[in-house]
Amino acid sequence: MARWLTSCYPVQHVKTTEDFPHGTANLAASTSGQATTRTPAYAERFLPKPAAGPVTTFWRVFVKAIHSLAVIAMASAAIYLMYCALTGRRDALVVWSLLMIGVEAVVYATFGRRCPLTILARNLGDEGGHDYLFEWILGTKRIKYVARSLALLSVIGVLSLIIAELVR
């Protein structure tokens, strides 16, 4: 039995998971002819796909811009932790950086090791869902290395701070 969700768009309505049994993340791959076996995150399975239009375009651009700022903030926090480990500096920004990285780790774990902003951008119709900054710098073929690199940078930042405190 197909359930219909009401949409904020007057033209058409969007169906729920009966239409997208494998989640909205697989729509880009299935339309381009590439098969994917990736299991969608929990949130992907239940988000209705909004109809295309200017409102959807605005929110997609907004989500991707916020995503770019979040990536810059996380990379800055990890680099700052490494800087503080090397210089011995301890201040409130160290605590904020550790909190940011901790929250990011919990969010990634909660969403099945996927960024919720990527999930949301894909749901809003973006093909890749990634942030503007790294799409521009790396291109779409090497974008898959960003999450791993930022995670490694965060781990190095936290570990360097822990080692600096133990040596101190």
Q: Both tokens of residue 152?
A: 């490694």
User: Number of structural domains, the chain?
Assistant: 1
According to the 3-state scheme, what is the secondary structure of 42-75? HHHHHCCCCCCCHHHHHHHHHHHHHHHHHHHHHH
Per-residue confidence in pLDDT tens, the chain, 168 aa = 444 444 444 444 444 444 444 444 444 444 444 545 555 556 666 666 777 888 888 988 898 899 889 989 998 999 998 899 888 888 999 999 999 999 999 998 888 888 888 888 888 888 877 777 777 877 777 777 888 888 888 899 889 888 988 987
Cα–Cα distance measured from residue 127 to residue 168, given in angstroms and rounded to the nearest whole number = 48
Q: What is the pTM of this model?
A: 0.67
> 3-class SS at 4?
strand
Domain holding 57, by residue range, is 4-167
